[in-house]
Amino acid sequence: MNKPKNQKGISKYIKLEDYKVFDYEIPEIFMDFVINKNAVNVTTKLKLVKKNKNTKNLILDGTDILIKKLFIDDSLIEKQYYKQQKNNLKIENIKKDIFLLKIEGIIKPKENTSLLGMYESNGIITTQCEAEGFRRISFHADRPDILSKYTVRIEADKNDYPVLLSNGNVLKENNLTNNRHEIIWEDPYPKPSYLFALVAGKLNCVKDNFITKSNKKVKINIYVEYGDEKYVQHAISSLKKSMKWDEDKYNLEYDLSLFNIVAIRHFNMGAMENKSLNIFNSKLILANSETTTDEELERIEGVIAHEYFHNWTGNRVTCRDWFQLSLKEGLTVFRDQQFTADVHNSEIKRLDDAKFLRRNQFREDSGPTSHPVMPEKYQEIDNFYTTTIYEKGSEIIRMLNKLVKDENFYKGFSNYISTYDGKAATIDQFVDKILEHNKEIDPKKFKIWYKQNGTPKVKFKRIWDQTDEKLTIEASQSNPIKKNLYNDLPLIIPINLAIFCDENKTIEKTVVLKTKKQEFVFRNIRSHLQIPLVTYFREFSSPVEWESDTTFEEKFLILRYEKDFFTLSNTVKVFYKKIILCRLDEKPDHKIENKFISTLISFIKNRDINLSLLSELLSIPTFAEIESEMENLDPLKIYKTIDELNHLFGTKLKEELYFKLQEIETSLDKVWPEGKNERKLIETIWKLLLHSDDEEIKSKIINYVDSNSMTLAKAALNSFSRINCPERKIISNIFFNKWKNNSVVLDSWFSFNASIEIDEKTNSIEKLFENTYFDSKSPNTLRAILNTFVTRNSTFHAIDGSGYKYIAKKIIDFDKLNPIVISRFIKVFSRYNYYSEPYKSNMLETIKQIKKNKLSTNTKEVLDAIIE
């Protein structure tokens, strides 16, 4: 594949159209790691089989590796026959078709601060090879379509590195002289280099096991730093649930007798699915109800499932090239979402997933960093680990499942796995397998979903013929982004709809929009309404935005008639947006506000309503939610309006909220997952009551900060975020003093304090970076402060631009330390064009100032996209 060129070169992009098969196969690799105090000697033996008989050269990727010697079949390669450049190694005049290349090299993990490749942090050596980290460990054709069987020997001092882990099964362990020891690992399944993993250090192991459906015993080991052993039972339980679920749902059984997980604090990703050696950010392993919220417990369960499910969708079948990234990630997100829906409440899970996608992916799709699920080009693949690749990719598969029905979907999935097991596949091949026996859906037309960027828009209009009892729905589709040629082509869009003839008669249908304009005709519709009421995209059946001719009076009827959680939540959101827009225009619509408040009261009084759903319905949109959907934004005015509405609704709903509070308080002590709905709702109630200037509730909430439930403790913390009162400082101190020695939990304290507006300047935020407990190498802590400050603190949008300038300094400083975190964070500026003045100009000036500095390639690529 072509590599990015420098400024004098022809192209700085890697392009999908340039893909070609590598000249060699590498069926077997042996790696020998000798870990010394300041360096690691790495000897790699690659068995190479020439596929392109016309080539005599071999080019391998490699960065920051000192070459000692090179051999071909034990013959030393003289220096004039190879050339080492900054990022590759070229060996010339190779005449053999099959040969063994031996590379003796040295790397220095202690000097590697990138958290990519092999690095040492807190005395633990760890690897992160996805996407292109392996080239920092050894020279290799570091691309996902090269699958090899690995044998790995690791040698180290027993005191410094008592635990030595890699992929697969243990072949041999030995004690050596000079207090050293060795271990040899063999992975029997071919894998790409990005799935290689090695961990060495002082770790404690918590053991368990799982019996597969074929009665095979799988040893489960979770390795953590000393003192963290008591926090792993939730992770073990989650892993076992996912192993059992994958057997039951997809007939996929774990294929080895050992499954290892390692929890590391200094780890950029949430987790990594390395074959049989999953490496996790500690935050997504160490958990119990005292240290972890209900929401986080569910997320951890889902992430552990996600990484386990990769064993088949990503590891056994991998992606041919990085343009196919969603083949493994979108598909595995779809599977982990299914898992959580099956284990918990499917309607709430669907609502949560839809909300996340619309808030994050729609925002991404409406800005300059918008890209297709299968991009056509990139500079740094690390920049494409996005909500588009993951969550939108999952939604496309969900639509595919909906279109072909479950039985055909699972049959096609099984054929896909059996056909491409042990191979590198493409998105096209997956879709073809699912649609193999389906004659109604044209695969070529469906695949356009992967090539378009931007969020499609669908418009609906009803035509009602009461005499003939015929309802016609006119539908049309378009894409607001015009740069991509594929965006002009119509998509295949499944639409779940309901036709309400009256309160007691509902017709539910799924129709499929296949052309730019289409009519759907429904006959024998008898309705007492002036025109039958229709709701669209129930269960969020397609990742689109839509407009309809539904009036606001009809929307109130939807809140009476509809049962679908997503549609109820979405309709409520429409009311909130309408109310906020009127207030931003300084023309409050008190009639709609009062009628809407009366509707919310009826929801609160409904004892049968799902309490998580009620929490959603009562939650006034946050700044981040509003910012992703509006234009000509005045951020300070929006923050002020949100505060006003929280005060208004808290005051108007106070009596009903107190009744509900009494009703649910008896369930707050239940053990997760029991009681989670009540605990979710109580934060919403506390927040509204605090905004209503209710003094009585303050002392009551403070009592929960020291709770044995982290959900309640953080609910107490978060509900005070925008309440300027002495109690806010009290709860902050209580939380800090209790958790200051638990770095995972303390990130919540950093986040809370980053949201507080103590004054109009950034002094209070800077104090967080200066805090003794701030760990500059921890991606979690960095994200906790930066992300919260820009999304929940109006000081970021100071009218003089000082908040933007302050964050610019942090971006420049931390880009040197962690470019992956910063390149993702910097997208906060991607919607600058949607802001009013002076915010727009202030943001643009800040972006230009950042660009003047020496930045990582990751961050530079994102900035270039933002202001191209």
Give a yes or no: residue 294 inside a domain.
Answer: no
Closest CA to 370 of 478, 279, 452, 282: 452
- Shared-domain flag, residues 536 and 572: no
β-partners of residue 25 are 49
274 and 126 fall within a common domain? yes
Q: Is the pLDDT of residue 274 over 60?
A: yes
Residue 2, pLDDT score? 33
Rounded CA gap, 307 and 416, in Å?
19
Using only the alpha carbons of the chain, give its radius of gyration. 28
Of 642, 666, 694, the last residue of a domain is 694
Q: Residue 655 maps to which CATH number?
A: 1.25.50.10
Amino acid at position 668, single letter? L
Judge if 394 and 446 occupy the same domain. yes
pLDDT at 3: 33
Q: What is the DSSP letter of 389?
A: I
Phi, psi (rounded to 5 degrees) for 161: -135, 70
Q: Name the pLDDT band for 801 (thresholds 50, 70, 90).
A: very high
**Tally of domains within the chain:** 4
pLDDT for position 114: 85
pTM tops 0.85, yes or no: yes
Q: Where does a domain end: 647, 672, 694?
A: 694
Banded pLDDT at 760 (limits 50, 70, 90): low
- Tell me: the pLDDT tens digits for 541-572? 999 999 999 999 999 999 999 999 999 999 99
Q: Quote the percentage of the chain above a pLDDT of 90.
A: 96
With beta carbons less than 8 A apart as the criterion, state whether 286 and 231 touch. Answer: yes
603 confidence band (pLDDT: 50, 70, 90): very high
Instruction: Find all residues with CB under 8 Å of 164, minimum gap 6, and list them.
Output: 154, 156, 181, 182, 183, 199, 200
pLDDT at 113: 87
Give the contacts of 65 (CB within 8 A, at least 6 positions apart).
Answer: 42, 105, 106, 107, 136, 137, 138, 139
Give the mean model confidence (pLDDT) for residues 8-16: 70
Centroid of chain to Cα 852: 30
For residue 684, the model assigns a pLDDT of 98
Inform me whether the pLDDT recorded for 4 exceeds 70: no
519 plus 423 within the same structural domain: no
The answer to whether residue 699 scores a pLDDT higher than 70 is yes
| Look-up of token digits 């552990």 | 304
726 in any annotated domain: no
Are 694 and 658 in contact, with CB atoms under 8 Å apart?
no
Task: Give CA separation, 698 vs 656, 660, 701, 792, in Å.
Answer: 18, 17, 5, 21
Catalytic annotation present for 307: yes
Do 588 and 602 sit in the same domain of this protein?
yes
Q: Judge contact between 792 and 623, C-beta under 8 A.
A: yes
User: 429 and 518 share a domain?
Assistant: no
Q: Is 850 contained in some domain?
A: no
Q: Alpha-carbon distance 819 to 825, whole Å?
A: 10
Distance CA 656, CA 618 (A): 12
Short-list 127, 120, 233, 265, CA closest to 784: 265
Catalytic residue among 132, 307, 364, 380: 307
- Give me the pLDDT at residue 5, please: 36
The answer on 272 and 127 residing in a single domain is: yes
Please state, in angstroms and rounded to a whole number, the distance separating the CA atoms of residues 458 and 395: 17
Q: Are residues 492 and 426 in the same domain?
A: no
Could you tell me if 542 and 568 lie in one domain? no
> Residue 436 sits in a domain of what CATH number?
1.10.390.10
Split at pLDDT 50, 70, 90, the class of 9 is very low
Positive or negative: CA dihedral 428, 429, 434, 438: positive
Residue percentage of the chain with pLDDT more than 70: 99
Helix extents (H) in 388-527: 393-420, 427-434, 443-446, 448-451
Residue 595 has pLDDT above 60, yes or no: yes
| Beta strands 117-121 and 124-128, pairing class | antiparallel
Q: Do 470 and 492 share a domain, yes or no?
A: yes
Express each pLDDT in 703-734 by its tens digit: 999 999 999 999 999 999 999 999 999 999 99
- Closest C-alpha among 220, 189, 184, 185 to residue 205: 220
Concatenating the DSSP letter of every residue in 201-232 gives E--EEEEEEEE-TT--EEEEEEEE-TT-GGG-
CATH assignment at residue 219: 2.60.40.1730
Domain that residue 539 falls in: 457-549
What is the Cα 202 distance to its own chain's centre? 30
What lies within 8 Å, CB to CB, of 29 at 6+ separation is: 44, 45, 46, 47, 148, 149, 150, 151
- For 811, residues 6+ apart whose C-beta sits below 8 A from its C-beta are 822, 825, 826, 850, 859
- Do the domain assignments include residue 757? no
For residue 119, is it within any domain?
yes
Place of tokens 């400050």: 789
CA neighbor of 507 nearest in space, from 555, 471, 480, 478: 471
Whether residues 505 and 585 fall in one domain? no
Structural domain includes residue 96: yes
Q: Which two tokens stand for residue 256?
A: 């080895």
> Would residue 794 count as lying in a domain?
no
Distance between CA atoms of 358 and 391, rounded to whole angstroms? 10
- Mean pLDDT for 793-801 is 96
- Please say which residue of 451, 471, 501 terminates a domain: 451
Residues 447 and 492 in one domain: no
- Residue 765 included in any domain: no
Beta strand segments in 36-175, E = 40-50, 58-61, 66-72, 75-76, 82-84, 88-91, 98-107, 117-121, 124-128, 148-157, 163-166, 169-175
Tokens of 426: 């493409």
Find, among 790, 455, 740, 770, the residue nearest to 639 by Cα.
790
pLDDT at residue 868, rounded to an integer? 74
* pLDDT reported for residue 1: 38
In a 10 Å sphere around its CB, with 0-12 CB exposed, 13-18 middle and 19+ buried, how is residue 587 labelled?
exposed
